[in-house]
Chain A
Amino acid sequence: MKIILYKRGAEADLYLDEWYDRKVIIKMRVPKSYRHPKLDLKLRTSRTLHEAEILHEAKKTSVPTPTIYFVDEKEAKLVIEYIEGIRIKEHFEKLNHIDLNRICRDIGMKIGLLHKSGLIHGDLTTSNMILTREQKIFLIDFGLSFHSQDNEDRGVDIHLMKRALDSTHYESANLCMKSIINGYAKIMKRDLMRKILDRVKEIEDRGRYSGERHT
Chain B
Amino acid sequence: MKSMKRVKQLNCLGIESTAHTFGASIVIDNGEICSDVREIYIPHRGRGIHPSEAAQHHNSKAQSVILKALKGAGMNVNDIDIIAFSCGPGLGPCLRVGATVARALATYLNKPLVPINHALAHIEIGILTTNVEDPLVVLVSGGHTAISAFGGNRWRIYGETEDITLGNLFDMFARATELATPGGPEVEKMAAKGCKLIDLPYTVKGNDVAYSGLLSAALREYQKGTPLEDLCFSLQEIAFSMMVEATERSLAHTEKKELLLTGGVAANKKFQLMLESISGLQNAEFHVVDAKYTGDSGVQIAWNGILAFQNGITVKIEDSIVKPRWRLDQVDISWRS
Contacts and interface: CB of A to CB of B under 8 A. Distances in A.
Given A208-B327, A210-B144, A211-B143, A125 B237 contact: no
The residue in A11, A36, A171 that gathers the most chain B C-beta atoms within 10 A of its C-beta is A36
B228 interface: no
Given A211-B327, A215-B48, A156 B205 contact: yes
Nearest to B281: A8
Interface stretch (A50-58, A77-85, A106-114, A159-167): A159-167
B194 to A, nearest CB: 12
Contacts of A207: 157, 160-162
Interface string A1-40: 0000000111100000000000000000000111110110
Contact of A8 (B152, B273, B282, B327): B282
Contact of B206 (A35, A38, A39, A124): A124
Contacts of A168: 151, 156, 158, 253-254
A104 B162 CA distance: 25
Given A11-B249, A34-B241, A34-B278, A212 B161 contact: no
B13 to A, nearest CB: 25
A132 to B, nearest CB: 21
A33 B156 CA distance: 29
B151 A210 contact: no
B114 interface: no
A94 interface: no
Interface in B279-296: 281-282
Given A207-B161, A212-B324, A160 B205 contact: yes
A214 B172 contact: yes
Contacts of B165: 210, 213-214
Given A160-B205, A211-B119, A33 B252 contact: no
Interface residues of A, number: 39
Contact of B89 (A9, A35, A211): A211
Contact of A35 (B49, B237, B251, B281): B237
Given A34-B273, A34-B277, A38-B197, A212 B162 contact: no
A155 to B, nearest CB: 11
A35 B324 CA distance: 36
A212 B119 CA distance: 11
Interface in A37-83: 38-39, 43
A169 B91 CA distance: 32
A48 to B, nearest CB: 15
A39 to B, nearest CB: 6
Contacts of A213: 19, 49, 89-91, 142-143, 165, 168
Given A10-B249, A34-B241, A124-B206, A212 B143 contact: yes
A127 interface: yes
Given A35-B237, A168-B254, A215-B91, A160 B163 contact: no
Contacts of A122: 205-206
Contacts of B116: none
Contact of B325 (A8, A36, A43, A212): A212
A106 B145 CA distance: 33
Contacts, number: 135
Contact of A36 (B157, B241, B254): B241
A89 interface: yes
B33 interface: no
Contacts of A144: 204-206
B145 A8 contact: no
A190 B324 CA distance: 36
Interface in A133-190: 144, 156, 160, 163-164, 166-168, 170-171
Contact of B164 (A38, A39, A214): A214
B257 interface: no
A33 B280 CA distance: 11
Contact of B162 (A33, A127, A170, A203): A203
Contacts of A163: 157-159, 207
B115 to A, nearest CB: 15
A50 B172 CA distance: 33
B238 interface: yes
Interface in B176-230: 197, 202, 204-208
Interface of A: 8-11, 32-36, 38-39, 43, 89, 122-125, 127, 144, 156, 160, 163-164, 166-168, 170-171, 203, 206-215
8 contacts: A8-B282, A168-B156, A170-B156, A211-B144, A211-B327, A212-B91, A215-B49, A215-B91
Interface of B: 19, 48-51, 88-91, 119, 142-145, 149, 151-152, 154, 156-165, 168, 172, 197, 202, 204-208, 237-238, 241, 244-245, 248-249, 251-254, 273-274, 277-278, 281-282, 324-329
